[in-house]
């Protein structure tokens, strides 16, 4: 197959492509540009997560329709009907109770003629009922208030009033041993029964009780400090029986037992009943034990105690001691006893607590009438306390 090469219009030879030249009668091909590498294919895209099918009801009808149907042929309840009923009710009420106002506010209706009120018929006055005071309001009990009746303590009670006639024991020796054993048990009812038997022993079998008096007093001291109040009061009553029936035989135990009674008053500051029981036992000690032992017990434990209740009880027992002995016996009992007694009385007369001072003043009134007291006064009372005590004595002499 033959190719025909067209001739150029200017008579020139055949046109050669640019960038080529003839060399040796041949055609040289032009160099090809460098090829760029194609990018690698993209990795396949991750499949999209499957969309969860919504379970919410989808509205199928117009929002303005009265009844709206959701998917699943469920009707959507609305408050539109109730709201329309309420609006109609409000409009009816407004029309019923509102006053018609004229269209022209300047025009006012003529006022109605004023009519004179008709005279009221005269009635006879009826007597007013007697005024009775309104009953007082009953106040209920506060929350947590105890409804038990309040125990009333007879403050005029004496130690002799606590004594009861008890039955003697058939076997006092075995009964005393059994009482000491029961006092060491944890059963509080056994302890109360043992204390009852000890009171019977003190009343009817003093000789048997004297054989173990020290052990009995130690057991009573421990039970006076018992946390159960019924056991503590029973122990103080038993100690009162020992003072009344053993009398001077309790002198060796007076300081030990009297001290625990005074300290019990300090512990029971909020319990008036326990304080009363302790004071009754101290009263029995003052009346039946030796005055020297009693004075030592009161001065060593109660005179300088921090509790005002203990100091008041001490002053009360000093006053009872002066009344039991008599003022002349106090001043003639010996220099040691009289000096200690007068010093204690002056100290109670100047005490800071108001419940302590009256007992000291009463004792000074008893002693001031004796001439021997002024001599003892000059040797006993310090200079700084004399002006105050002198005023008390002048008041006593006037009375």
pTM of the model: 0.60
Average pLDDT rounded to a whole number, residues 250-272: 92
pLDDT at 137 (0 to 100): 56
**Average pLDDT of the residues in 258-273:** 92
CA distance 356 to 330: 20
**Candidate from 202-206, 257-261, 331-335 with smallest mean pLDDT:** 331-335
| Residue 355 scores a pLDDT above 70 | yes
pLDDT in tens, 7-53: 444 444 544 444 444 444 555 555 666 667 777 777 777 777 777 76
Q: Name the residue among 182, 184, 207, 196 with its Cα closest to residue 241.
A: 196
Mean pLDDT, all residues of the chain: 78
| Domain-wise residue ranges, the chain | 160-289, 290-398
What pLDDT shows up at residue 374? Answer: 79
Q: In whole angstroms, what is the distance from residue 358 CA to residue 308 CA?
A: 13
Task: State residue 94's pLDDT score.
Answer: 85
- CB burial of 281-306 (b: ≥16 within 10 Å; e: otherwise) equals bbbbbbbbbebebbbbbbbebbbebe
Q: Are 262 and 282 in contact (CB under 8 A)?
A: yes
| Interatomic CA distance for residues 314 and 350, integer angstroms | 14
Least confidently predicted of 8-12, 87-91, 274-278, 327-331: 8-12
**Structural tokens at position 133:** 């005071």
Long-range pairs for 163-166 at CB < 8 Å and ≥24 separation?
A: 163/241, 163/244, 164/199, 165/203, 166/196, 166/199, 166/200, 166/203, 166/204
Residue 347 has pLDDT above 70, yes or no: yes
Q: To 5 degrees, how large is the angle CA 265–CA 381–CA 333? A: 70
Query: Quick check: 54 pLDDT over 70?
Result: no
Which region among 6-15, 53-62, 142-151, 256-265 has the lowest average model confidence (pLDDT)?
142-151
Do residues 325 and 368 make contact, with C-beta atoms less than 8 angstroms apart? no
User: What is the model's pLDDT at position 126?
Assistant: 60
| Per-residue confidence (pLDDT) for residue 121, from 0 to 100 | 59
pLDDT of residue 391: 84
DSSP conformational letter for 393: H
With a cut of 50, say whether residue 91 has pLDDT above it.
Answer: yes
Range of lowest pLDDT (94-98, 101-105, 121-125): 101-105
User: Residue 397's pLDDT band (boundaries 50, 70, 90)?
Assistant: low
Q: Which fold has domain 160-289?
A: 1.25.10
Instruction: State yes or no: pLDDT of 297 exceeds 70.
Output: yes
Q: What is the pLDDT of residue 57?
A: 58
Give me the pLDDT at residue 62, please. 52
pLDDT tens by residue, 155-189: 467 877 778 888 988 999 999 999 999 999 999 99
**When comparing pLDDT for 191 and 99, which is higher?**
191
Q: What percent of the chain has pLDDT over 90?
A: 42
Mean predicted confidence (pLDDT) in 372-389 = 81
Tell me what pLDDT residue 4 has: 47
Distance CA 260, CA 216 (A): 14
Is the pLDDT at 381 greater than 90, yes or no? no
Q: What is the pLDDT of residue 275?
A: 93
Higher pLDDT: 199 or 369? It is 199
């Amino acid at each position: 197959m033959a190719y025909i090469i067209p001739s150029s219009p200017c008579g020139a030879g055949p046109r050669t492509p640019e960038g080529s030249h003839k060399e040796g009668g041949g055609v040289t091909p032009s160099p090809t540009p460098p090829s760029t590498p194609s990018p690698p294919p993209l990795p396949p895209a991750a499949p999209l997560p499957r969309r969860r099918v919504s379970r919410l009801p989808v509205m199928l009808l117009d929002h303005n329709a009265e009844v709206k149907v959701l998917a699943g042929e469920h009707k959507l309840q609305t408050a539109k009907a109730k709201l329309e009923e309420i609006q109609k009710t409000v409009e009816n009420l407004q029309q019923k109770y509102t006053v018609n106002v004229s269209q022209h506010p300047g025009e006012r209706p003529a006022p109605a003629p004023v009519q004179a009120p008709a005279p009221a018929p005269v009635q006879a006055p009826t007597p007013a009922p007697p005024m009775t005071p309104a009953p007082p309001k009953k106040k209920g009990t506060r929350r947590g208030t105890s409804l038990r009746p309040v125990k009333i303590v007879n403050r005029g009670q004496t130690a002799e009033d606590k004594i009861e006639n008890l039955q003697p024991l058939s076997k006092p020796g075995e009964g005393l041993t059994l009482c000491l054993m029961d006092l060491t048990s944890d059963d509080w009812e056994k302890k109360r029964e043992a204390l009852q038997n000890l009171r019977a022993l003190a009343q009817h079998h003093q000789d048997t009780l004297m054989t173990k008096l020290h052990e009995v007093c130690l057991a009573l001291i421990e039970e006076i400090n018992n946390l159960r109040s019924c056991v503590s009061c029973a122990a103080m009553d038993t100690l009162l029986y020992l003072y009344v029936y053993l009398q001077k035989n309790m002198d060796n135990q007076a300081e030990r037992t009297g001290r625990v009674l005074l300290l019990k008053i300090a512990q029971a500051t909020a319990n008036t009943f326990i304080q009363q029981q302790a004071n009754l036992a101290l009263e029995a000690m003052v009346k039946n034990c030796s005055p020297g032992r009693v004075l030592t017990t009161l001065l060593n434990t109660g005179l300088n105690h921090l509790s005002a209740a203990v100091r008041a009880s001490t002053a009360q027992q000093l006053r009872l001691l002066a009344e039991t002995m008599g003022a002349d016996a106090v001043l003639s009992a010996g220099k040691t006893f009289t000096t200690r007694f007068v010093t204690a009385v002056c100290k109670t007369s100047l005490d800071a607590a108001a419940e302590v001072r009256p007992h000291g003043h009463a004792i000074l009134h008893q002693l001031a009438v004796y001439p021997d007291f002024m001599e003892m006064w000059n040797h006993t009372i310090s200079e700084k306390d004399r002006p105050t005590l002198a005023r008390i004595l002048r008041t006593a002499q006037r009375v």
